[in-house]
Amino acid sequence: MHVDPKYSAMQKLKYFIRPDLPLSFKLDLIKKRTATAKKWIIGMNQITNDGEIAYAQEGASEAPVVNEDFFAPAASRMQLANPAVQTAIAATDTWLQFDNTAKAIAGSNKVYDATYPNRNDADGDNTGSGVDILSFLTSYTTGDFNDGGVTIKNFAILDNGTPVNASKLLTHGQITPFNKTATDTLKFFINHEMRRV
């Protein structure tokens, strides 16, 4: 655990995923009740097989097929889920595994914030940004949703406002369980870092 000296009562937690690979992943999720009361929550995410293909297509400037444009600011989105037991993640996952018998939170299916994804993110709340890092951000207001009293445990990046079982994911992730009440806002950052080994 690391307490940032810039804030008097703030916990910042970061988790590096699969650091043995050239592409590794960090997550910052910020839950806050007021502008000065913030909490950083730990998480990890798995780039799916479909996500790896999407990165290769993006690098080759190939046009993505329908519902696979995970990098389109106006179309792609994040979503959260609150299963009773945290859903396992795997590279083969699609919406079927993420939804896990209707546990995806409908109100959390929301497009990225304007200008995201971006490189070398300048948002001061994003502790994982950098020159070789692609950052995604979706912000949730108090009115977007609450978790209904069941803790949020999973998240995904997708390109579909009305996904079905076969809908593809860029990433499927787990997070330390937490609640979002009607008085909480969330800033959900996912950072994909290009690393040399």
Query: Mean pLDDT over all residues of the chain?
Result: 80
Amino acid at 31: K
Residue 12: pLDDT band with limits 50, 70, 90: very low
3-state SS, 11-71, equals CECCCCECCCCCEEEEEEEEEECCCCCEEEECEEEEECHHHHHHHHHHHCCCCCCCCCCCC
Q: Which is more confident, 73 or 197?
A: 73
DSSP class of 182: T
- pLDDT digits over 173-191, tens only? 998 888 888 888 888 888 8
Q: What is the percentage of the chain residues whose pLDDT exceeds 70? A: 80
Q: Taking 80 as the threshold, does the pLDDT of residue 98 lie above it?
A: yes
Q: What is the pLDDT of residue 25?
A: 47
Q: Work out the average pLDDT over 58-85.
A: 89
* Beta carbons of 75 and 67 less than 8 angstroms apart: no
Q: What is the pLDDT of residue 113?
A: 94
Dihedral sign (CA 28, 31, 32, 37): negative
Q: What is the pLDDT of residue 66?
A: 78
Q: Taking 90 as the threshold, does the pLDDT of residue 132 lie above it?
A: no
Q: Quote the CA–CA distance of 138 and 122 in Å, as a whole number.
A: 15
Residue 13: pLDDT band with limits 50, 70, 90: very low
DSSP string, 146-180: --TTS-EEEEEEES-SS--TT-BEEEEEEEEEE--
Which CA distances in Å does 89 have to 4, 68, 170, 171? Answer: 30, 19, 12, 9
Q: Taking 50 as the threshold, does the pLDDT of residue 51 lie above it?
A: yes
- State the pTM of this model: 0.81
Q: What is the pLDDT of residue 195?
A: 67
- pLDDT digits over 20-49, tens only? 333 334 455 566 555 566 777 777 788 899
Q: Taking 80 as the threshold, does the pLDDT of residue 18 lie above it?
A: no
Q: Work out the average pLDDT over 70-94.
A: 91
Is omega for the bond preceding 117 within 30 degrees of 0, making it cis?
yes
Which distant-in-sequence residues (6+ apart) come within 8 Å of 117 by Cβ? Answer: 71, 73, 134, 135, 136
Which CA distances in Å does 176 have to 1, 18, 41, 48, 82? Answer: 13, 18, 7, 20, 12
- pLDDT digits over 141-169, tens only? 989 998 888 899 999 999 999 999 999 99
